[in-house]
């Protein structure tokens, strides 16, 4: 390779391309859902809702993220004792960012805030978020197996996607267990560089969190976290005056969460609607009713989070755009450093 070739910069993916793809995915899903929709049925359906069950569904959804904060604190207990209010605030700000900004940048913001407010390394926040996702993935796959046993006609493409996610989850779990059991070997496997230092800090964080007692308790809290999310959708189905069981609601939640794994437009608009409609069709829900319910569900899950997240963000005295920039600056400086 000549010196001139060595100096040629690598082509980078334009920063706008992932956002464009996410917006296109959401727009395509929204067009699919709204095509042929009978809009004259929406207002009567909203008026006919049982608002007591709507309130229960919304409160259950908002409480999910308090449980999320409890879980995060429990996971990090071997590292530091955190205040529940601050952890929940970071989660709500992250959720707010996900509702107004593309590509789920809220995950980065919540980890940044956790580190910033508690004097932790940003890499510890990332490591804890990765462990959360592994535990969530285990429960989601378990729930999908149960759902698949209850209904027929689950699309083959979805089954293949779940199988791929299962392989990735297994690989991630193997890496996590190996890091926890072989700390020195994991450190030695990483070469010297800025990002190598960051990975060492992540390994250190994973090792500290590898406490069997706290990991087991975190897994149980994660089951409660998922169950409350399912109960929220069950309550909203009751508000829509259906007689579907909790297990149907659980299956719909599983399929929605699997469909929204891919980052897309803010609030998962379009994607969550299509996923809800298609999931309900598996349980013999009429197509137009499924579209109507998807709109109601999106509003019930999104609007309260916007309000709660905006309040949590306002209490910091910094707008969400500045928080995003600060979080990205923390990444550029190296996630292994204190923020």
Q: What is the pLDDT along the chain (339 residues), one digit of tens a residue?
A: 555 444 455 566 777 787 888 889 999 999 999 999 999 999 999 999 999 999 999 999 999 999 999 999 999 998 889 999 999 999 999 999 999 888 788 999 999 999 999 998 888 888 888 889 888 988 888 888 888 777 767 777 767 767 787 787 777 777 766 665 655 555 555 554 454 555 555 666 666 676 788 889 999 999 999 999 999 999 999 999 999 999 889 989 988 998 888 878 888 999 999 999 999 998 889 999 999 999 999 999 999 999 999 999 999 999 999 999 998 888 777 666 665
* For the chain, domain boundaries: 47-333
CA 107/CA 309 separation, integer angstroms: 14
CA 203/CA 179 separation, integer angstroms: 7
Helix (H, G, I), strand (E, B) or coil at 121: strand
Question: Roughly how many angstroms between the first and final C-alpha of the chain, as a whole number?
Answer: 40
């Amino acid at each position: 390779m000549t010196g001139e070739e060595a100096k040629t910069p690598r082509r980078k993916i334009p920063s706008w391309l992932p956002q464009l793809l996410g917006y296109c995915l959401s727009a395509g899903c929204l067009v699919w859902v709204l095509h042929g929709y009978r809009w004259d049925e929406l207002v009567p359906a909203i008026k006919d809702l049982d608002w007591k069950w709507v309130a229960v569904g919304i409160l259950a959804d908002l409480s999910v993220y308090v449980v999320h904060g409890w879980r995060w604190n429990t996971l990090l207990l071997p590292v530091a004792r955190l205040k529940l209010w601050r952890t929940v605030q970071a989660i709500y700000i992250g959720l707010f960012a996900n509702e107004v900004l593309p590509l789920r940048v809220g995950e980065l913001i919540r980890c940044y805030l956790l580190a910033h407010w508690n004097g932790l390394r940003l890499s510890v926040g990332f490591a804890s978020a990765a462990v959360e996702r592994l535990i969530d993935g285990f429960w989601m796959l378990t729930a999908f197996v149960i759902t698949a046993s209850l209904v027929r006609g689950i699309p083959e493409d979805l089954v293949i996607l779940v199988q791929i996610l299962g392989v990735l989850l297994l690989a991630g779990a193997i890496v996590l267990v190996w890091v926890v059991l072989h700390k020195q070997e994991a450190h030695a496997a990483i070469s010297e560089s800025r990002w190598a230092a960051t990975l060492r800090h992540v390994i250190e964080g994973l090792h500290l969190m590898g406490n069997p007692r706290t990991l087991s308790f975190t897994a149980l809290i994660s089951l409660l976290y998922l169950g409350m999310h399912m109960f929220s959708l069950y309550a909203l189905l009751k508000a829509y005056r259906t007689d579907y069981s909790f297990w149907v609601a659980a299956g719909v939640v599983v399929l929605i969460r699997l469909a929204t794994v891919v980052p897309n437009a803010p609030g998962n608009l379009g994607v969550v609607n299509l996923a809800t409609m298609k999931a309900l069709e598996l349980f013999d829900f009429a197509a137009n009713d499924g579209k109507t319910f998807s709109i109601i569900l999106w509003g019930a899950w999104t609007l309260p989070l916007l309000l709660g997240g905006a309040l949590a963000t306002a209490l910091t005295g910094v707008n969400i755009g500045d928080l995003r920039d600060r979080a990205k600056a923390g990444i550029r400086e190296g996630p292994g450093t204190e923020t």
